[in-house]
Structure 1
Amino acid sequence: MTDEIRINALVFPDVTQLDLTGPVQFLTGIPGAVVDLVWHSTDPVPTDCGFSILPTTTFADARPADVIMIPGGQGAFNLLEDAVALDFVRAQARDARYITSVCTGAFVLGAAGLLKGRRVTTHWASHAMLSHFGAIPEQARVVRDGNLITGGGVTSGIDFALTLAAEIAGPDVARRIQLALEYDPQPPFDAGTPARPEADQEFVASLIASNRERREGPVLAAAGRNAGSDIAR
């Protein structure tokens, strides 16, 4: 009989849907995996792509999980002031085997007081702002620091999911999941990160500046609340 592996993933308005659906597609390949999508209610939640996703449970009803996963997107920054969501993340993290995020979901973990002194990654365009939470930003597709596993921007979530699958069920299972889903990336362009030769450096600078303008205020406010609370002590 296969042991159950409970995975609670947040879903919220303006989530980057691939941050959520990409990893979930891979993680459901783990034997015994049970994934819940958690929000305030089970009403449809609009994503950044124009379609909605149905949560499967609520913050009030969700069971404790082996894995708590926070996806990213502009909507993640609205969660930095959502006390119910942050309390849920903290409560789940206390007993979870793995505390995880994809892309800018890392900022929700930071606002919940879970990143201080820990190595972590996120999307390159918001990467430097992680330091406001006392985190140690590291540029990588996947970063592991103890039971904290974080993925970089968007498609990095698939690498993150395979890393987590191997951790939970072993490398052979992870390889079979990769094979079944034909994950064999061979992009037509060499522009996937700012360091790649075909990356548009003007766009890189513009997006970093835009994200800082939109996001640094909420990040600093959340970091300030952490500094004045018992979370940071």
Structure 2
Amino acid sequence: MHTQVVLFDGFDPLDAIAPYEVLYAGGTASDGAVTVELVSAEGPREVPSGTAGLTLRATGSIDLGRADLLVVPGASGRVGEPGEVPDHDLGAGERQQDELIPVLLGRTLETELPALLAQAMHDPDITVATVCGGSLILAMAGQLEGRHATTHPLGLHLLDATGAHALRARIVDDGDLITAGGVTSGLDLGLYLLEREMGPRIAHAVEELFCHERRGTVWRAQGLSPSAF
């Protein structure tokens, strides 16, 4: 299983690194059955995160011919107050440190990323996974209508507004779309992906290595529908 973790300007570092490191460890535990790399829509480059100028290097381009799994992180920045608009009087460097998360997520729509994600979403051989606000990028690109998904609790209403079925769950498995909630859920996402694709023994070995126990139930559209409490 080859995974490409997608970086974009303003990404949240933990959203990207948590699943990356879990999947990398899964590759070691599975004798190379899992591989993972950092990529961007623009190709190899230094990609600035939204956290204090931290950058990561994308070593390749998004390649839908090679990827079995794409992982899309959210953005790191300020949540802001309702109705707050960005201060355009700030310099470029200052804006990079003071951006609102919705602005950073929305800016991805001006790149090649949404078109590539749309292709991936319509390719039956590719699974798309997101962490935190990564699902909002898909939603803003019109790719989540009618799909079950989650994101950070502060963004659930935005998922609903785009026609998605927003769920307050740690991880939502909707077949070829797997979404995870707030920032630390990237660890749980990586472990769940290992269990789903490589089996529970590989996932458990990495869980033991990382001293991290997954939280919550993975929501799937299976089984009995619950009655109202």
Q: TM-score, normalised by structure 1?
A: 0.72
- Structure 1 residue 184: Cα displacement: 4.6
Number of equivalenced pairs: 180
- Structure 1 residue 181: Cα displacement: 1.4
Aligned residue for 1:42? 44
Instruction: Report sequence identity in percent.
Output: 30
The alignment status of 1:115 with 2:127, answered yes or no, reads no
Distance 1:185 1:160 in 2: 9
1:31-61 CA-partner distances (Å, limit 9, x unpaired): 32221222113221111222110001124x5
The alignment status of 1:22 with 2:18, answered yes or no, reads yes
Pairs within 5 Å for 1:154-173: 154-173=183-202
Residue of 191, 208, 224 corresponding to 1:179: 208
Residue of 51, 63, 69 corresponding to 1:67: 69
The amino acid across from 1:15 in the alignment is F
- Structure 1 residue 160: Cα displacement: 1.3
* Long gaps (5+) in structure 1: 187-233
The alignment status of 1:87 with 2:99, answered yes or no, reads no
8 A contact 1:27–1:165 mirrored in 2: yes
Secondary structure of the corresponding residue to residue 182 of structure 2 = coil
8 A contact 2:120–2:126 mirrored in 1: no
8 A contact 1:11–1:55 mirrored in 2: yes
Distance 2:18 2:49 in 1: 14
1:103-157 CA-partner distances (Å, limit 9, x unpaired): 0000122234321111100001111100122100000111111221100010011
Aligned residue for 1:209? none
Secondary structure of the corresponding residue to residue 43 of structure 2 = coil
8 A contact 2:46–2:55 mirrored in 1: yes
- Structure 1 residue 81: Cα displacement: 3.1
The amino acid across from 2:189 in the alignment is F
RMSD: 1.9
Q: Structure 1 residues 48, 146: closer, same or farther in 2, change over 3 A?
A: same
Distance 1:65 1:96 in 2: 9
The alignment status of 1:136 with 2:165, answered yes or no, reads yes
- Structure 1 residue 70: Cα displacement: 0.6
The range that moved more, 17-26 or 68-77, is: 68-77
The amino acid across from 1:165 in the alignment is L
Q: Structure 1 residues 7, 185: closer, same or farther in 2, change over 3 A?
A: closer
8 A contact 2:47–2:56 mirrored in 1: yes
Aligned residue for 1:54? 57
Aligned residue for 2:86? none
The alignment status of 1:103 with 2:132, answered yes or no, reads yes
The amino acid across from 1:91 in the alignment is Q
Distance 1:171 1:112 in 2: 34
The amino acid across from 1:54 in the alignment is R
The amino acid across from 1:36 in the alignment is E
- Structure 1 residue 29: Cα displacement: 2.4
8 A contact 2:2–2:68 mirrored in 1: yes
Higher helix proportion (structure 1 or 2): 1
